A and B are shown apart, each in its own frame.
Chain A
Amino acid sequence: MKAVITVIGHDQIGIVATVSQRLAALKVNITDISQTLMHGDFTMMLMGEWDDNDVKFEVVKQGLLDLAKETGLSINIQRQELFDAIQKL
Chain B
Amino acid sequence: METKQILDTIQMISEEKLDIRTITMGISLFDCIDSDGEKARQKIYEKLTTSAKDLVKVADQIESEYGIPIVNKRISVTPISMIAAACHDDNYVAYAQTMEKAAETLGVDLIGGFSALVQKGYQSGDRKLIASMPEALSETKRVCGSVNVGSTRAGINMDAVRQMGRVVKDLSEIDPVSCMSLVVFANAVEDNPFMAGAFHGVGEADKVINVGISGPGVVKRALEQVKGESIDTVSETIKKTAFKVTRMGQFVGNVAAKALNVPFGIVDLSLAPTPSQGDSVAEILEEIGLESVGAPGTTAALALLNDAVKKGGVMACEHVGGLSGAFIPVSEDSGMIKAVEHGNLNLEKLEAMTAVCSVGLDMVAVPGDTTAETISGMIADEAAIGVINNKTTAVRVIPAKGKKVGEQIDFGGIFGYAPVMPVNTNSPAKFVTRGGRIPAPIHSFKN
Interface residues of A (CB under 8 A from B): 4, 6, 32-34, 36, 38, 43, 45, 47, 57-58, 61, 76-79, 81-83, 85-87
Contact = CB atoms under 8 A, between A and B. Distances in A.
Interface string B218-262: 000000000000000000000000001001101100000000000
Interface in B1-29: 1-3, 5-10, 12
A78 B1 CA distance: 14
Contacts, number: 60
Given A4-B6, A6-B6, A47-B1, A86 B64 contact: no
Contacts of A47: 1
Contact of B66 (A32, A33, A82): A82
Contact of B3 (A36, A58, A82): A36
Secondary structure dominating the interface of A:
strand
A87 B7 CA distance: 11
A34 B3 contact: yes
A79 B66 contact: yes
Contacts of A86: 5, 9, 12, 244, 247-248, 251
Closest 5 CB pairs of A and B: A85-B251, A78-B67, A32-B1, A87-B5, A82-B66
A32 B6 CA distance: 13
Secondary structure dominating the interface of B:
helix
A38 B1 contact: no
A57 B61 CA distance: 10
A50 to B, nearest CB: 13
Contacts of B84: none
A45 B251 contact: no
A47 B3 CA distance: 10
A34 B3 CA distance: 7
Given A61-B64, A76-B67, A77-B67, A82 B5 contact: no
A52 B244 CA distance: 28
8 contacts: A43-B7, A61-B64, A78-B65, A78-B67, A83-B5, A86-B5, A86-B251, A87-B9
Contact of A85 (B1, B2, B6, B250): B250
Interface in B42-72: 64-68
Contacts of A85: 247-248, 250-251
Contact of B10 (A34, A36, A76): A76
A34 B8 CA distance: 15
B250 A79 contact: no
Contacts of A45: 1, 3, 6-7
Given A57-B65, A79-B66, A82-B67, 19 more contacts: A4-B1, A33-B1, A34-B3, A43-B7, A45-B6, A45-B7, A57-B64, A77-B67, A78-B65, A82-B66, A82-B248, A83-B2, A83-B6, A85-B247, A85-B251, A86-B12, A86-B251, A87-B2, A87-B5
